[in-house]
Structure 1
Amino acid sequence: MKMSITKPAAKWFIRELNLEEGEAVRFFARYGGFGGVHKGFSLALDKASPHNIGAEITEEGILFFVEDSDLWYFDQMDFHIKYSRKFDEIEYVIE
């Protein structure tokens, strides 16, 4: 799995989560929600320190990562994080 994030998306996270350089954002599978790769699961995120990174990208001094134990959710597809200026929100693309 490859992971990418655009600079505008990273800046959105910094603003919305009050992130400081050196902090990290973890993406993980959670039970429940809509629109996920696997029925009954959706993508969640939190500020967290990594333990066993499966995929990562650093942008604007922030580490964005997925733990090895959550790679199953992406089903060996790539994970792209983008920012929508039109809606001022994050867009996840898993392909």
Structure 2
Amino acid sequence: MKMNVEQAAALWYKEQMELAEGDALRVFVRLGGCGSVHPGLSLGITKETPRNAGLQQEVEGITFFMEEDNLWYVGDKELRISFDSQYEEISMQVV
């Protein structure tokens, strides 16, 4: 189980969410959306302080994390957060 946040994605979040160095973003499982791992579920993101982070990575001064109780969504795979410059949007994939 691993988290891989690309630098371009971190920079996009910093700009779009007006984040400062030291802020944290929680990746969480939500009902609905277009998730490819578990039908009817997808991933969301919110600015929040970690309580019991199971996965985390700091990029561009921002801590991206997933709480331990949501790790079942990723399983033994890798969560990749990237920025698609062609469509100017974030991609979250479990591979």
Q: Distance in 2 between matches of 1:84 and 1:40?
A: 23
Q: SS where residue 83 of structure 1 aligns?
A: strand
Residue type of the alignment partner of 1:76: D
Matches within 5 A, 1:35-74: 35-74=35-74
- Number of aligned residues: 95
Any unmatched runs of 5+ in structure 1? none
Residue type of the alignment partner of 2:72: W
Q: Distance in 1 between matches of 2:42 and 2:6?
A: 21
Aligned to 1:33: 33
Percent of paired sites with the same residue: 39
**TM-score, scaled to structure 2:** 0.94
Of 30-39 and 42-51, deviating more is 30-39
Q: Does the 8 A contact of 1:54 with 1:71 survive in 2?
A: yes
Superposition deviation, residue 75 in structure 1: 2.1
> How big is each residue's C-alpha offset from its partner over 1:11-41, in whole Å with a ceiling of 9 and x where there is no partner?
0000111101000000010112223411121
Q: Distance in 1 between matches of 2:62 and 2:35?
A: 26
Aligned to 2:9: 9
Aligned to 2:20: 20
**TM-score, scaled to structure 1:** 0.94
Residue type of the alignment partner of 2:41: F
2:85 is the alignment partner of 1:90: no
Q: Distance in 1 between matches of 2:83 and 2:33?
A: 21
Two-structure CA RMSD over aligned residues (Å):
1.0
Q: Does the 8 A contact of 2:84 with 2:90 survive in 1?
A: yes
